[in-house]
Each structure stands twice: as structure tokens, then as C-alpha cells.
Structure 1
Amino acid sequence: MIDKIIEIWVDADSCPVKQDILAVAEAHNTVVHFVASYAHSLSIHHPQARTYAVDSEFQSADMFIINHVKPDNLVITDDYGLASLALEKRCLAIGTRGKEYTNENISLLLMSRHVSAEIARAGGRRRGPGPLRKEEIARFRQVLQKLLHRLEGD
């Protein structure tokens, strides 16, 4: 029997949990693909890691990822649009704060992003996320482990 190859694709431009991803991936013997624009330096040296530099154009990293993922890959991103596309390709998706994106919650998340953008265009203020807390990192690692176990068929 051939072992199932599980791959993780990371929207790495502003990913604050790269080392956590590598630690979990190493425990699962999983390949991690980090994709970032040329404007963001990626100096990741790890046997599980592959790095890709793409144009600095809007959505270049997202398009690279979505053009390379396969069903049952895992995508790590805080971009709801990319998460939605990944779900359409039958991938699992998670945000860097441990939020699992699902077919059940992605429409609401996309709608809230749209409403927030409309408020900003009308001159309203939007609050971005605060700094990543230790509890959020722990939750991220826990959900990442859970999703990898699901993909492995445990």
C-alpha cells in the first residue's frame, strides 16, 4: 500500500505561524509549500519546506496556490477568498488563528468581509485583528493537528 501524500500550502506573505506549521508538519512527515511575493523575504530552511516567490501583483500568491493544490491538500490562509476557492477544490482550509473554514461558514465570512469593505469605502473605520495571542497559536496548532489526522484517515 502506498502512503497518502499530504501537502500543506501556506499563504506566507504575512503568516505569523510559519514555525508552528513546520513543527506540526515535521511530526506528520508532511510537505509544506510556502508561497509569498518577491516583496516578502522567505528564508525558511527545513527539510519539510518548499518555498516559492511570486509576483507582487494583487492575488499572485493566492492564484499560485489555487493553481497547484489538489483535493485533500490543506491550505493555511487568512484570506477568505482563497479559503473559499480551496474548499471548492475539495481542500481543507484553516486561518492562522485556528479558524477552520468550511462549506457551512465560508459564505457568512465572505459576506462579513464584503460588508466591512463597504463600510470602509463609505468612510467608516475598520478594526483589524489584534496581535496574535499565545492561546490563538495553541488553538491553531490543535486545529492543524486535527485536520492532518483527518487527512491521514486516523
Structure 2
Amino acid sequence: MQIWIDADACPKAIKDILFRAAERCQLTTTLVANQSLPLPPSRYIRMLRVGGGFDVADNEIVQRMSAGDLVVTGDIPLAAQVIAKGGYVIDTRGEAYSRDNIGERLAMRDFMDGLRSSGVDTGGPAALSSRDVQNFANQLDRFLARYAGLS
């Protein structure tokens, strides 16, 4: 099992949690982004830089990941592709996406896109809170204990 991070928009606090988990659990963790990002020295953490462009990082993650891998992303269409390929997804606020809830998340995303394209100001997501960071850490720990046999 590997961890893949959709890293361009992943908050630093979340990356730091993932870096510690990679070391603790000795799991290969790959950040995929269209720019170089600072990484701690580790044999488990690596960077995959991709070209700029729409969905380039997403496509690279889907192409390289395997069934059973974990992907950390807030991108719902990417999450749907990962789940369809047999992977697991946790968003940066700690929500685990699954076959049971991804359809609903995609429908809501499409609905909100429709509102925005018709000129409705839907606002953006709230800033990442300390509670969100804690939710992510707890969800990651539960995932690692359950699916990777680690904690």
C-alpha cells in the first residue's frame, strides 16, 4: 500500500501529518504537484512533479496508483476515479469517501458548479480549522489501523 497526495492544494498541516505517518508506518508517500515542494529527508517520502495544466496531477495519480492505495485529495472527481480503481480516499478535512457516498458528493459538486456558472455567489470553502486538522489525523489513524494493519 502507498499513499498519494494531491499536493498542489494540500495544506501544510495535513502534509506534516502525512509525513509523520509515512515515517512511523514506513509507507511510501508520494506528493504529486506541478511545482516542487519542500520535503523532509526520508526514504519513504518522494515528490513527483508533473507539468502544468488541467487535471495533469490528477491523471498521474490515477495512472500510477493501485487498488488498495490511499489518496489524499479534496478533488471530488479525482476521488471518484480513485474509488472506481479500488483505492481509498480521505479529503483534507478528514472525510473518507467511498462507493457509498461519492455519488452524492459528485452530485452536490455539480449542483454547486451549476449555481456558480449561472452567476450565484456560493462562497468558497471555510478556512481549514484546527478541528479539521484533528479530524484528518484521526481518520488517517483509523484508516492505517484498519487497512494497513498499522497505527
TM-score range, shorter chain: over 0.9
Query: Residue by residue, what CA displacement relative to the aligned partner does 1:27-46 show, whole Å, maximum 9, x if unpaired?
Result: 211111000013xx312133
Which TM-score applies when normalising by structure 2?
0.93
Please report how far the alpha carbon of residue 152 of structure 1 lies from its aligned counterpart in structure 2 after TM superposition. Answer: 1.9
> Are the aligned partners of 1:98 and 1:137 in contact in 2 as well (CA < 8 Å)?
yes
Please report how far the alpha carbon of residue 25 of structure 1 lies from its aligned counterpart in structure 2 after TM superposition. Answer: 2.1
Sequence identity of aligned pairs in percent?
31
> Are the aligned partners of 2:83 and 2:99 in contact in 1 as well (CA < 8 Å)?
yes
Please report how far the alpha carbon of residue 153 of structure 1 lies from its aligned counterpart in structure 2 after TM superposition. Answer: 3.8
Q: 1:22 aligns with which of 3, 19, 22?
A: 19
Give the alignment's Cα RMSD to 1 decimal: 1.1
In structure 2, what is the Cα distance between the partners aligned to 1:112 and 1:46?
A: 39
- The alignment covers a number of residue pairs equal to 147
Q: State the SS of the aligned residue for 2:8.
A: coil
> Are the aligned partners of 1:11 and 1:76 in contact in 2 as well (CA < 8 Å)?
yes
Which TM-score applies when normalising by structure 1?
0.91
The structure richer in helix per residue is 2
- 5+ residue gaps, structure 1, are 1-5
Question: What letter corresponds to residue 25 of structure 2 in structure 1?
Answer: H
- 5+ residue gaps, structure 2, are none
> Are the aligned partners of 1:74 and 1:92 in contact in 2 as well (CA < 8 Å)?
yes
Which stretches of structure 1, 4 residues or longer, exceed 2 Å deviation after superposition?
Answer: none
